Amino acid sequence: MSEFIILYEDAEALVIDKPGGLPIDTPRKRGPSIEQRLGELKLGFQREPQPAHRLDTDTSGCLLFARNPKALVRYHQAFEQRLVGKTYLGVLAGIPDQKEGDIDLALTKISSEEKGWRMIPAKKGKPSLTRWRVVAEANGRALVEFTPETGRTHQIRVHAASGIGIPLLGDPVYGTKAGYARTMLHASRLEVARDGKPPIIAEAPMPADFVAQGF
């Protein structure tokens, strides 16, 4: 089992490059998780750090932890108040005609016995805004930079499929898995402003499976 790559570290914060496919919480069926490996992230501190936000199991990249309860509360508030700068990279399963834009699609959660739960666009859903731009094209696919202004569950995945009209490569819910190991989404940059302290700024390198697509 590989060691976690540390992207940022100080007395109250830790940012790791989360591997794609590794869940934060231990699944019901057990198996590996970040929760089980928090002891590895103490790095000399007494407490185990606690995740300050969520990333889907498939999503790789910047994951922020708080090293004490007070910092955890502050980071939760920063995310809730939209004071955190978040940038994602995603590989679309095609190339869009438009090369940039804003997706303003409200989202709501639905569930069915056949398909389980998922998010869908709905006029009465929660407001959701994502800015996006194509940064590269290769092999009939586009590498897109996403900047979500809100933080809804599966927001980028639904906005890619229903807003741009092309799902993320390997997305089994809003597109097709098509033999890929995961949904191709990567949290590439995280910036958190702090009162009286330098901001937390972390950048995660391009993952190997993105590079393998020609990016």
Helix (H) or strand (E) holding 38: none
Q: What are the structure tokens assigned to 202, written together?
A: 């972390």
Distance CA 138, CA 82 (A): 33
Question: Do the Cβ atoms of 189 and 64 come closer than 8 Å?
Answer: no
Q: Give the CA distances from residue 92 to residues 123, 144, 155, 166, 213, in Å, rounded to whole numbers and listed in that order.
A: 25, 7, 15, 6, 11
Distance CA 136, CA 148 (A): 19
Among residues 56, 58, 171, 209, the one annotated as catalytic is 56
Nearest-5° Cα angle at 69, 59 to 60:
10
Q: What are the structure tokens assigned to 164, written together?
A: 């741009």
Is 58 assigned a catalytic role?
no
Phi first, then psi, for residue 124 (nearest 5°) are -95, 15
Catalytic residues: 56
